[in-house]
């Protein structure tokens, strides 16, 4: 593993931990030249999951896209990054566990909203407003009524 600081190609593993239900191994490493420490993550190489967009286009699944969208919805809310990361890991894990090559963008959006609803209603409404492309206040009010009814 190449050191990100000095580019030396040899390092030693100081600590290894499994995370994300055993799907990821996090390794703490130390460069043998500059002795600085850095972290690497090792993922199981899986068949690529393709996302079918609403217009029919296909693109590779991008975990970071989901993470960014959830972070924006949760900004200035009392939600830890650990909670956000767990939500994104759960969604990705659920999608990959279905053993399918393709998943629709709609399914991903609905799964994100269902999980956000359980964590924080404000974050849920924020995400839903962008995902469903609300154009008027009535659409917000309708969504809020739906939340009240589910309580």
Among candidates 49, 28, 30, which has minimal Cα distance to 97? 49
pLDDT at residue 75 in the model: 95
- Measured CA to CA, the distance from residue 56 to residue 145 in angstroms comes to 32
pLDDT at residue 134 in the model: 79
Beta bridge partners of 16: 27
- pLDDT tens for each residue of 71-118: 999 999 999 999 999 999 999 988 888 878 899 999 999 999 999 999
pLDDT at residue 5 in the model: 97
In total, the chain counts a number of residues equal to: 151
Please give the model's pTM, rounded to 2 decimal places: 0.65
Contact predicate 111/94, CB 8 Å: yes
Token couple for 50: 């393709």
pLDDT at residue 70 in the model: 97
Q: CA torsion sign, 94 to 89 to 102 to 130? A: positive
Backbone angles phi, psi at 60, to 5 degrees: -65, 145
Enumerate residues 6+ apart whose C-beta is below 8 A from 145. none
- pLDDT tens for each residue of 20-76: 667 789 999 999 999 999 999 988 766 789 999 999 999 999 999 999 999 999 999
**Would you place residue 132 in the very low, low, confident or very high pLDDT band (cuts 50, 70, 90)?**
confident
């Amino acid at each position: 593993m190449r050191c990100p600081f000095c580019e030396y190609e040899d390092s030693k593993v100081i600590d290894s931990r499994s995370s994300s239900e055993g799907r990821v191994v996090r390794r703490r490493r130390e460069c043998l030249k500059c002795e600085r420490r850095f972290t690497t993550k090792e993922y199981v190489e899986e068949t690529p999951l393709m996302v079918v967009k609403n217009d029919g286009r296909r693109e590779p699944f991008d975990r970071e896209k989901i993470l960014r969208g959830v972070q924006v919805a949760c900004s200035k809310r009392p939600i830890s990054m650990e909670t956000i990361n767990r939500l994104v890991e759960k969604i990705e894990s659920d999608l990959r566990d279905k053993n399918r090559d393709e998943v629709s963008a709609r399914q991903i959006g609905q799964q994100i909203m269902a999980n956000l609803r359980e964590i924080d209603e404000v974050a849920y409404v924020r995400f839903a407003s962008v995902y469903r492309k609300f154009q008027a206040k009535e659409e917000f009010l309708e969504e809020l009524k739906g939340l009240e009814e589910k309580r």
